[in-house]
Structure formats: C-alpha cells, structure tokens
Chains A and B, each alone.
Chain A
Amino acid sequence: QKEVEQDPGPLSVPEGAIVSLNCTYSNSAFQYFMWYRQYSRKGPELLMYTYSSGNKEDGRFTAQVDKSSKYISLFIRDSQPSDSATYLCAMSQTNDYKLSFGAGTTVTVRA
C-alpha cells in the first residue's frame, strides 16, 4: 500500500464548476499538507499548505485536512480553463525534509 493515495483521474469539468480533489494517507505522523499544481511539461509549484487539521482558503481555493480520517481535500470554486493542470498532494512530518507525494490528479476545465 502506498503511503499517500490519490486518484489520478482524469477529471473533466465545465467552466464555473467546483472541482473536488482528495488524498488519503497512512502515516499518522504527517503534520504538513501541501497541494502542488503542475502544468503540462513544467515543474510543480506550491499552491497551498496547511498545518495539522482544519481549513485554509486562498481566493478560489480551499484546502481541508481531517487528520482523524487521514484525508485531505482541495476545492476549486468557479473553475477556469487556466486551472487545467495536474494537482499533486504532498505531506511531511515536522522538521522532515522529505515529502511524500500522491500520484497527481489531472484536471481539465472545459470552456
């Protein structure tokens, strides 16, 4: 079993829809949870990070962490064609330089 599980999709939605992405994990020591966005043939870039459980909102993006269920989510509201990318979840323990990544979910937003 992988340490971090993420459905690779692909996911296709119409413009303006809400995109819902999620990951599950098995290591209860993870404390930092990140979402990276990767456009085609580019390197990933950090979108959001969350510490421990709770929600975090940044514009159209909301990240949620439920440590009791070992489940994290990313929601994209009012999705735009420019949101079409692969979204990777990543997580780490405190003061650990290693990140554990999910497989990435490929999202296409249709105009």
Chain B
Amino acid sequence: DGGITQSPKYLFRKEGQNVTLSCEQNLNHDAMYWYRQDPGQGLRLIYYSQIVNDFQKGDIAEGYSVSREKKESFPLTVTSAQKNPTAFYLCASSITQGPYNEQFFGPGTRLTVL
C-alpha cells in the first residue's frame, strides 16, 4: 500500500530545542517537499528536493534544515533559530517527469512549542 508517512503526529518542543520531523515515502517519487501550514495562510514551501543529496530552499527556509540521503526519506529539522515554529508541517512527494506537478501529501505533524 503506497503512500507517505510522517511521524510523530504530534510533537511538543521546549524553546531552544532542535526537533526532527520524519517523512518517508514508498511511491518511488524523486521529488519531496516540506510545507508549513498556518491558519489563514495556506501552505508555504520550506525546502524541496528533486534528487538524492540535493535540495533547495523554499520561501521560508530560515530556521529549518533538511537532508536527503535516501530517495525514500526527507527529514526536516526545526532548529532553535526558528522564531515561531508552532504550526502544522506537511511533507509531500511527486514525480519529476511530466508537465504538471501532482503532489501527494502525508498526514502531517503538528508541532507545538511550549
């Protein structure tokens, strides 16, 4: 059963701590993405990766870091430099061939800073 998994579903962080959100896909997609969703603001792109060992900053990359060591995995680290990290984080993947980009999303991780 193909899809995208994210863990944990809920995550609580104290101020000053780094946390890592997991994203795994078994769709054999080359491209993977991280978005942040806040109420009334839609989805904002944090980072994306089109191939293993390569990734690009999105619109709001400051305070975040990623790695892409395996095709299936694209973890996101929220560092202490991110001033307002409380949000819903969504991971997505897509193929890289074809004229348009249908992205498949995971169930999300809700991060709360205490």
Q: Which residues of A contact B (CB under 8 A)?
A: 4, 6, 8, 31-32, 34, 41-46, 49, 51, 88, 90, 92, 94-99, 101-104
Contact = CB atoms under 8 A, between A and B. Distances in A.
Contacts of A49: 100, 102
A32 B94 CA distance: 15
A102 B42 CA distance: 6
The size bracket of the interface on B is 20 to 34
A101 B42 contact: yes
B80 interface: no
Question: Top 4 nearest A-B pairs by Cβ distance?
Answer: A43-B105, A32-B100, A103-B42, A101-B42
Contacts, number: 64
A57 B96 CA distance: 26
B11 interface: no
A41 B94 CA distance: 21
B66 interface: no
Given A44-B90, A102-B42, A92 B108 contact: no
Contacts of B42: 4, 6, 88, 101-104
Nearest to B44: A101
B31 A97 contact: yes
Contact of A32 (B50, B90, B101): B101
Contact of B45 (A34, A95, A98): A98
